[in-house]
Structure 1
């Protein structure tokens, strides 16, 4: 359990955050996670998962009928996988921020090269969006999230070290709008309390409003 010992020695906790950049609630939760790093000793490792992979064998797609969007849904995660492989997880986090800003705040879904440029990355990486070169990498990263949280979840999956030193992962939290400052920290503290309960699986209620991209005070 080297990671647990390191966390105990330094007080710094490493969190894995799996995301598909097209999901609005994932984007909001990621902004909460960024806020957490400002008020708690937390480092985030950004990782890729895919709604397309998650739902490909389901008779009833909980995301609805994507229609002409079905092919596009693969494009952003392929670009993300390429960036992670070539430049690492910090660069992946920068790209996720750039993609989320364009997709969810500006409604600019088609300009993947622009998102790469915004993140300080080579725009030509966008070419992988329409190839299958990184599909295996997407699936492998996605499988790691599912191994922790199960295959009946969605995006995001957040993982931290459990009470026995094991990695535990949960879908969510799904929160809108994203809390900031100490409110973000308190939500994180609650997440860790739940993660420390070996038999804890789920807490949920029906969403009653559209995702809000402003930040909650």
Structure 2
């Protein structure tokens, strides 16, 4: 199974934590990869370019994600823990803390290095190709099926975690299935 995430997305963080819960209950080989909300935003003419957002640019965490290589899953979990769950603000501060905790402070310069952008785009394109560009993150690929979501407001536990996965895969496996959605109520529970 592949999970495509952007570290700045709270729903991607919740999806990773949910699939980690599934992995405690079922044999699951989870490969975490990057997609990019910055890349998706390039198609929106009304969206402010990421280049004007400075240290808050969505490019910075995904560049670091490429730089950390095989430790991407850990990076996304640590970034999400600080940024989403603990509410630490200033993406640069979160990056600094995460890289320090991972003993990878030397990779901090990757945040501002556009030479990582091609790798971000390759991973993003690979993740989005089977689902289209009208979705965001998370995107899951499993057993030849790819889909956006599920967008979760909390991490399901135990049998609920398994049921959510099985239901999502079953729906996505039906060739005529396109979308299932309802309005989110309440805040997110990390």
Is 1:17 matched with 2:3?
A: yes
CA positional deviation for 1:121 = 4.2
TM superposition score normalised by structure 2: 0.90
Match of 2:15 in 1: 29
Is 1:101 matched with 2:81?
A: yes
Match for 2:57 among 65, 68, 72? 72
CA positional deviation for 1:130 = 0.9
Partners of 1:187 and 1:181 lie apart in 2 by 10
Match of 1:175 in 2: 152
Partners of 1:129 and 1:168 lie apart in 2 by 32
> Secondary structure of 1:179's partner?
coil
Between Structure 1 and Structure 2, which shows a larger proportion of strand residues? 1
CA positional deviation for 1:148 = 1.5
TM superposition score normalised by structure 1: 0.79
Aligned residues: 186
Is 1:57 matched with 2:34?
A: no
Structure 1's unaligned 5+ residue stretches are 1-14, 162-166
Distance 1:174 1:69, change over 3 A: farther
Partners of 2:23 and 2:115 lie apart in 1 by 33
Match for 1:117 among 67, 87, 100? 100
Q: CA RMSD in A?
A: 2.0
Match of 1:3 in 2: none
Per-residue deviation, residues 30-60 of structure 1 (Å, max 9, x unmatched): 1111111111221110000110101112134
> Secondary structure of 2:124's partner?
helix
Checking the alignment, whether the CA contact within 8 Å between 2:37 and 2:136 is kept in structure 1 is: yes
Structure 2's unaligned 5+ residue stretches are none
Per-residue deviation, residues 64-112 of structure 1 (Å, max 9, x unmatched): 897736852111000001112xxx2xx1101111111111122223331
Is 1:44 matched with 2:30?
A: yes
Match of 1:138 in 2: 120
